[in-house]
Amino acid sequence: GGSSRGVALLIHGFGGNAEHWRKNAPSLAAAGFEVYAIDLLGYGFSSKPDPRTTLPLTLDPSMPERFYNIHMWAEQQAAFLQEVCGVGPGKRHESALVITNSIGSSVGLQLAVEFPHLVKAAFLLDPSLRMLHVKNQAPWEKPFVPAVQWVLRETSLGDWFFGAVAKPQTVQTILRVIYPAKPE
């Protein structure tokens, strides 16, 4: 083969996994990129640490109660780029293209902010940036969000709630709100 055009890291979105990119990866590879798509921790075939019994890998200062968070996933991607893809100062590749979808866009942006030396460019496809707006909550709402999250995460009420809403029709309704365009 010819010389590589560099690394393209593909970051999936909400409810997705690395398979999300199965139709895009071959075209990028044919264009000369070394293509990588991995599952964010907690998604797809990755490990799924129980946030009730595992210490957070990385804290998000705006949402310290969240085990799975944008900062942690950005660190996961940075480690993957450096350790697996050979990206960084003095390595095979100076930086990488980061191509994202949905909530993966927040991860890609955080990766670029925290590790700018690793990211040549970030491409955001259908970004979901809602998690970036936590600071926009009204002051009176802020104490209630962690309280509700705790109740849902730590009590039998949470088990009941998720059992009641984790039905195909409910998930489909939520996904229609997040992704209003009908897929082909």
Q: Dump pLDDT digits (tens) for 12-34.
A: 988 889 999 999 999 999 999 99
In the predicted model, is pLDDT for residue 132 greater than 50? no
**Crossing angle for the helix pair 70-83 and 104-114, nearest 10 degrees?**
70
Determine the Cα angle at 73 with ends 71 and 74, to 5°. Answer: 65
**52, 42, 14, 69: which is closest to 151 by C-alpha?**
52
Residue scoring higher pLDDT (71 or 66): 71
Q: Which of 8-22, 59-73, 111-125, 165-179 has the lowest mean pLDDT?
A: 165-179
Q: What is the pLDDT of residue 163?
A: 76
Residue scoring higher pLDDT (41 or 10): 10
DSSP one-letter code for 129:
-
Distance between alpha carbon 28 and the CA centroid of its chain, in Å?
Answer: 20
Which residues share a beta bridge with 34? 7
In the predicted model, is pLDDT for residue 58 greater than 80? no
Q: What is the pLDDT of residue 136?
A: 60
Q: What is the pLDDT of residue 180?
A: 57
In the predicted model, is pLDDT for residue 161 greater than 60? yes
